[in-house]
């Protein structure tokens, strides 16, 4: 992993702050819902997202075979609690949905504390924190609580109730499709299966929703597909239903754990040198914010499915602090009050910067390639003896002219020159205006992709 340490944070403009605040408000609405791999919490999440972007919801029946997996029964929970010997609700699902192991089967019984204890999950090394636990593919039940609370439980008989249904139903995922000039797509995917947890996972949902909303309001070269699906089996369900059209996906990103204020982390696609990998690297560099680049590994989030060997999409993973390095993840510490709206604004901005590169990257051809063309005559170079305000602009003109041989795109030029992508793009536009450069478009690049 290579780390770049530049200025500590992104400079936000007002519109970024507004978007960050809107993302946070959406997160606040989604936070209370008890999401899981399937069930009413996922559907209610999509109902709220519909206020921002029109989603198409897809239902996949329980029992459906998906590659090597089978869609599990649908889980819905109505209430759950543990009553202490004195009748008080010592553990209460209504207080926090983290208190119940996700996918717990229904139970109604009375147990001694010793009998109950194996069903109680805590974090002894962090005694004030409630862990988040799931058991999707193995039937069981259990509760999660702070270790301090466990130590305070008195001996005696405890009434245990989990009022839940685990029965054939559906897995639900949702898509938002935005058409562009081309049928070729950029796939943005995030997961929707965590209950009241803010950074992991609501940050991905709200950043994707804001990005979708912004892209809907601007002209687009590519088509965009936003996928909101429960982790692992959601992308697998989508992939199995879209095998025939995977060739249309030119670029992709998964978004996860993108709401904390740590440095951005971009994990490269399995291909390692896809356009999205280079676009993310240059865009994050140009933002001048702390970030790190990681090589692909088959460990992490849903990129594992999109980058499985027979799929191998050009898709990278964008997050902030790496999951394992962020202690609040998968605990009650990952709460709304840990999220700064400005961090969400930064994350949307970073996504837009990457998308902007994808949207505008193209190959050009220098129409005067024998020596340097005379720029001064065309008003593009400093007047004799005079200094220019921005030497970078002139440098960009010379780089674009030099590398526009049909084998390099603007992104290649920005990466190789060290100049910002925007400076390179502006230089290309100026050279086109004076007839020194021809647009070959992205597909006209002579370099084999
Ligand atoms: Zn997680």
CA–centroid distance, 256 to ligand 1, in Å, is 9
For residue 181, what is the domain's CATH number? 3.40.630.10
> Which two three-digit tokens encode residue 182?
């081309």
Do 201 and 314 have their domain in common? yes
Do 376 and 422 have their domain in common? yes
Do 174 and 107 have their domain in common? no
Quote the domain boundaries for residue 148: 74-167
Residues with Cβ–ion distance below 5 A, ligand 1: 200
Do 182 and 40 have their domain in common? yes
CA–centroid distance, 44 to ligand 1, in Å, is 19
- Residue 121 CA to residue 119 CA, distance in Å, equals 6
Tell me 98's DSSP state.
G
For residue 81, what is the domain's CATH number? 3.50.30.90
Residue 386 pLDDT: 54
Residue 393 pLDDT: 86
Residue 10 pLDDT: 76
CA–centroid distance, 283 to ligand 1, in Å, is 26
Could you tell me if residue 334 is inside a domain? yes
Phi-psi region of 418 (alpha: psi -120 to 50; beta: other; left: phi over 0): left
Could you tell me if residue 58 is inside a domain? yes
Could you tell me if residue 448 is inside a domain? no
- DSSP E strands: which ranges in 14-128? 56-61, 65-66, 69-70, 74-83, 89-92, 107-112, 120-121
Could you tell me if residue 330 is inside a domain? yes
Whether pTM exceeds 0.75: yes
Do 144 and 178 have their domain in common? no
Average pLDDT over residues 416-426: 97
Q: With beta carbons less than 8 A apart as the criterion, state whether 292 and 3 touch.
A: yes
State the pLDDT confidence band at 4, using cuts at 50, 70 and 90: very low
Residue 9 pLDDT: 66
Could you tell me if residue 449 is inside a domain? no
CA–centroid distance, 189 to ligand 1, in Å, is 15
325 Cβ contact list (under 8 Å, min separation 6)? none
Residue 323 pLDDT: 80
Total tally of structural domains belonging to the chain: 3
Do 314 and 404 have their domain in common? no
Q: With beta carbons less than 8 A apart as the criterion, state whether 282 and 414 touch.
A: yes
CA–centroid distance, 284 to ligand 1, in Å, is 24
| 3-state class (DSSP) for residue 43 | helix
Do 48 and 133 have their domain in common? no
| 3-state class (DSSP) for residue 105 | coil
Do 128 and 181 have their domain in common? no
Average pLDDT over residues 45-62: 98
CA–centroid distance, 430 to ligand 1, in Å, is 47
Do 186 and 307 have their domain in common? yes
To which residue do tokens 């990005």 refer? Answer: 211
Do 298 and 326 have their domain in common? yes
CA–centroid distance, 198 to ligand 1, in Å, is 10
Tell me 131's DSSP state.
B
Among residues 167, 196, 226, the one where a domain terminates is 167
CA–centroid distance, 32 to ligand 1, in Å, is 16
- Residue 381 CA to residue 377 CA, distance in Å, equals 8
Do 125 and 262 have their domain in common? no
Among residues 343, 360, 377, the one where a domain terminates is 360
CA–centroid distance, 195 to ligand 1, in Å, is 10
For residue 414, what is the domain's CATH number? 1.10.10.10
- Residue 338 CA to residue 429 CA, distance in Å, equals 43
* Cα 360–chain centre separation: 22
* Run of H or E residues at 293: strand 291-294
CA–centroid distance, 217 to ligand 1, in Å, is 31
Could you tell me if residue 144 is inside a domain? yes
Q: Which of 428, 378, 379 is nearest to 403 (CA)?
A: 428
Among residues 139, 167, 195, the one where a domain terminates is 167
Q: State pLDDT tens for residues 275-308.
A: 999 999 999 999 999 999 999 999 999 999 999 9
CA–centroid distance, 157 to ligand 1, in Å, is 34
Do 313 and 376 have their domain in common? no
Residue 383 pLDDT: 56
261 Cβ contact list (under 8 Å, min separation 6)? 9, 320, 340, 342, 343
149 Cβ contact list (under 8 Å, min separation 6)? 90, 91, 122
């Amino acid at each position: 992993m290579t780390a770049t340490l530049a200025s500590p944070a992104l400079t936000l403009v007002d519109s970024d702050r507004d978007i960050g605040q809107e993302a946070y408000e959406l997160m606040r609405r989604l936070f209370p819902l008890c999401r899981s791999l399937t069930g009413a919490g996922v559907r209610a999440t999509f109902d709220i997202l519909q206020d921002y972007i029109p989603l198409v919801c897809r239902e996949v029946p329980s029992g459906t075979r998906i590659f090597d997996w089978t869609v599990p029964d649908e889980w819905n929970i109505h209430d759950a609690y543990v009553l202490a010997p004195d009748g008080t609700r010592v553990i209460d699902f209504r207080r926090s949905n983290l208190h119940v192991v996700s996918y717990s089967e229904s139970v109604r019984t009375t147990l001694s504390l010793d009998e109950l204890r194996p069903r109680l999950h805590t974090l002894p090394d962090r005694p004030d924190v409630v862990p988040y636990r799931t058991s999707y593919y193995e039937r069981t039940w259990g509760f999660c609580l702070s270790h301090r609370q466990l130590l305070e439980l008195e001996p005696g008989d405890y009434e245990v109730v989990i009022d839940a249904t685990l029965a054939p139903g559906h897995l639900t995922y949702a898509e938002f499709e935005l058409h562009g000039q081309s049928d070729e797509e950029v796939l943005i995917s995030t997961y929707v299966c965590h209950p009241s947890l803010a950074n992991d996972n609501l940050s991905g949902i709200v950043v994707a929703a804001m990005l979708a909303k912004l892209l809907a309001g601007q002209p687009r070269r590519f088509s965009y597909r936003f996928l909101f699906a429960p982790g692992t089996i959601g992308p697998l369900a989508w992939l199995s239903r879209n095998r025939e059209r995977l060739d249309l996906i030119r670029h992709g990103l998964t978004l996860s754990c993108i709401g904390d204020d740590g440095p951005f982390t971009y994990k490269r696609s399995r291909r390692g040198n896809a356009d999205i990998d280079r676009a993310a690297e240059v865009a994050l560099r140009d933002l001048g914010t702390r970030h790190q680049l990681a090589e692909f590994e088959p460990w992490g989030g849903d990129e594992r499915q999109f980058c499985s060997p027979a799929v191998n999409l050009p898709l990278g993973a964008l997050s902030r602090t790496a999951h394992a390095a962020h202690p609040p993840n998968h605990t009650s510490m990952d709460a709304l009050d840990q999220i700064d709206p400005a961090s969400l604004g930064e994350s949307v901005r970073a996504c837009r910067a990457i998308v902007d590169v994808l949207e505008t990257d193209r190959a050009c051809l220098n129409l005067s390639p024998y020596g340097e063309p005379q720029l001064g005559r065309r008003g593009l170079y400093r007047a004799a003896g005079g200094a220019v305000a921005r030497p970078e602009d002139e440098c960009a003109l010379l780089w674009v002219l030099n590398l526009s041989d049909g084998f390099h795109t603007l992104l290649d030029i920005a990466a190789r020159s060290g100049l910002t992508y925007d400076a390179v793009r502006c230089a290309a536009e100026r050279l086109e205006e004076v007839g020194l450069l021809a647009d070959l478009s992205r597909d006209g690049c002579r370099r084999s992709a």
